[in-house]
Structure 1
Amino acid sequence: MHSEKASWGLKAAAWAGLAFLHIPILIIFLYAFNTEDAAFSFPPQGFTLHWFSVAFGRADVLEAIKLSLQVASIATLIALLLGTLAAAALYRHSFFGKDGISLMLILPIALPGIITGIALLSAFKGLGIEPGLLTIVIGHATFCVVIVHNNVIARFRRTSHSLIEASMDLGADGWQTFRHIILPNLGSALLAGGMLAFALSFDEIIVTTFTAGHERTLPIWLLNQLSRPRDVPVTNVVAMLVMLVTMLPILAAYYLTKGGESVAGSGK
């Protein structure tokens, strides 16, 4: 008779794996509150909120936060629209070229970010488009669409088509059927997909590096701070902010889609 309880060795390995993944994150959180302005003084000498006021008092930090929020919001809205329309077109009907379209939809998230960035930069240069806010948004939308599409199409596949047919048989038009039948069934999938897309866009750096031009999103600001050791406390505060902004939506999306058909695990 086999026991359902895991062995001590397996438990220890699991906890060791969690520690390996999360201790570096905890260190960033810890040093964001350190009273010392040295890069790393262990153990921390005290607890302070001083570096938060310093960080949010700097114009470059606020501009980077504003730009990242703006880009993530616009990219998420584009992804919600295009991803939902693509899922609606592909989930039920078969037609010539369907597999090719599906492949093209998921390709941006399957390719390494550096390949996507180089391809987008070449395309923008060929079209004479200067790198800036527009190019960053387009770059982020390419992989955000995949996130929304994966969530929505999985929900479509779990939604009984008989509900839609019954609504139409009872006299509802297309808009009424969408509003009262389809949209309520897609609500949590759209919310989860939107939050995942926002989180991935907010901390994206590889594609952004090729498409940003002179613009500096928050991840690019953090990358530039690596050459400024005197700003380490402020950098720790901003890094903690990035982790919170990206971690909380992903956790919320996980719980919204928990038990679904591999929806919550469709991140980049």
Structure 2
Amino acid sequence: MLRLSRPAKIFLGLIVVAIMAFMYVPLLMVVINAFNAARIPTWPVAEFSTQWWEVAFTSEPVRKAVGNSVLVALGATAIALVLGTLVAFALQRFAFFGRNAVNLLVVLPIALPGVVTGVALNNTYNNLLEPIGIHVGYLGLIIAHGTFCIVMVFNNVFARLNRMNPGIEEASRDLGATPWQTFRLITFPQFRSAFAAGGLLAFALSFDEVVVTIFTAPPGVDTVPLWIMNTMARPNEANVVNVVATVLILLSLIPVWASQRLSRDTGEAS
């Protein structure tokens, strides 16, 4: 076991503290400014108030943006759960020509810069589909988010399938179970946690996506990130943005915590 000297431990501890401060102090300032009574945020905060919380929760644009984000994230997650799981099974259970290429193509959207994906989809929607009478509209935004959410489900399910014991499924078939019964009673329970963890991560990724959304959102449709970006240009509404951002910080903890918990449970079960 590697043993560090006391000065080395202190030095590494200071580095960790500096990194954590760099990451989380700005988030803490957002939370504090959400209670800033001033119309235009000032620092240090002279007076605290909850008035901006009341404004945010009664704002119609905020409610519409949240509704759009939830709807798009649910749609993208549904696409990711179905396609990500199917691709994971195909690549893990079958050997076929072009298998490595398919694996690369599934992972590629999450590695590409968002602006590249956004421009590509925008060109496809506007220059290819619309001239032949296909107007994707809201569905196009959901599909756009689904393209990079698939990899979240795929990675989780594929990793879990690689750790599963195929002998259990073979025993189920030998005992007379149909393929559907084997999947429902034996296979799915074994990767269910990874399936749910991937879905939660896909939802979180879609909910706060902004770059692809800029290029693919229909006119007049705002998601929460788009609303925040547009509202930040109006300084007198900055504290309302801080309120919404604070709520998002708190809500983001839920899928991340649940995903980690599910992944840990999956690892323990294997």
Q: Give the letter for the 1:258 counterpart.
A: R
Instruction: Tell me, yes or no, if the aligned pair for 1:131 and 1:212 is still in contact at 8 Å.
Output: no
Higher mean C-alpha deviation, range 250-259 or range 208-217: 250-259
Q: Which residue of 2 aligns with 1:47?
A: 48
Q: How is 1:26-45 mapped onto 2 (pairs within 5 angstroms)?
A: 26-39=28-41, 41-45=42-46
User: Percent sequence identity over matched residues?
Assistant: 44
Distance 1:4 1:181, change over 3 A: farther
Segments of 4+ moved more than 6 angstroms:
none
Q: Which residue of 2 aligns with 1:265?
A: none
Q: Does 1:191 align with 2:196?
A: yes
Instruction: Tell me, yes or no, if the aligned pair for 1:200 and 1:246 is still in contact at 8 Å.
Output: no
Q: Distance in 2 between matches of 1:91 and 1:7?
A: 43
Deviations 1:182-214 (A, max 9, x none): 111111101110110000000000000000031
Instruction: Tell me, yes or no, if the aligned pair for 1:139 and 1:207 is still in contact at 8 Å.
Output: yes
1:221 aligned counterpart, secondary structure: helix
Q: Which residue of 1 aligns with 2:122?
A: 121
Q: Does 1:147 align with 2:172?
A: no
Q: TM-score, normalised by structure 2?
A: 0.91
Q: C-alpha displacement at 1:226, in angstroms?
A: 1.8
Q: Distance in 2 between matches of 1:97 and 1:3?
A: 47
Q: C-alpha displacement at 1:53, in angstroms?
A: 1.2
Q: Which residue of 1 aligns with 2:168?
A: 163
Q: Distance in 2 between matches of 1:4 and 1:176?
A: 55
Q: Distance in 2 between matches of 1:116 and 1:213?
A: 16
Instruction: Tell me, yes or no, if the aligned pair for 2:62 and 2:224 is still in contact at 8 Å.
Output: yes
Deviations 1:46-70 (A, max 9, x none): 4332211101111111100000000
Q: C-alpha displacement at 1:130, in angstroms?
A: 3.9
Q: Which residue of 1 aligns with 2:186?
A: 181
Instruction: Tell me, yes or no, if the aligned pair for 1:164 and 1:182 is still in contact at 8 Å.
Output: yes
Instruction: Tell me, yes or no, if the aligned pair for 1:202 and 1:246 is still in contact at 8 Å.
Output: no
Q: Distance in 1 between matches of 2:13 and 2:194?
A: 33
Distance 1:259 1:184, change over 3 A: closer
Distance 1:2 1:138, change over 3 A: closer
Of the candidates 228, 245, 261, which is equivalent to residue 255 of structure 1? Answer: 261
Distance 1:43 1:143, change over 3 A: same
Q: Distance in 1 between matches of 2:179 and 2:47?
A: 62
Q: Distance in 1 between matches of 2:117 and 2:250?
A: 26
Distance 1:2 1:238, change over 3 A: closer
2:105 aligned counterpart, secondary structure: helix
Q: Give the letter for the 2:81 counterpart.
A: L
RMSD of Structure 2 on Structure 1 (CA): 1.8
Instruction: Tell me, yes or no, if the aligned pair for 1:156 and 1:186 is still in contact at 8 Å.
Output: yes
Higher mean C-alpha deviation, range 246-255 or range 14-23: 246-255
Deviations 1:23-51 (A, max 9, x none): 11111011111222222x22223433221
2:176 aligned counterpart, secondary structure: coil
Distance 1:259 1:19, change over 3 A: farther
Instruction: Tell me, yes or no, if the aligned pair for 1:195 and 1:250 is still in contact at 8 Å.
Output: yes
Q: How is 1:15-164 mapped onto 2 (pairs within 5 angstroms)?
A: 15-39=17-41, 41-125=42-126, 126-128=128-130, 129-130=134-135, 132-164=137-169
Give structure 1 stretches of 5+ with no counterpart. Answer: 262-268
Q: Which residue of 1 aligns with 2:244?
A: 238
Distance 1:53 1:83, change over 3 A: same
Instruction: Tell me, yes or no, if the aligned pair for 1:199 and 1:245 is still in contact at 8 Å.
Output: no
Deviations 1:146-203 (A, max 9, x none): 1100000000001111111011111111111111111111111011101100000000
- Relative to its length, the structure with more helix (as a share) is 2
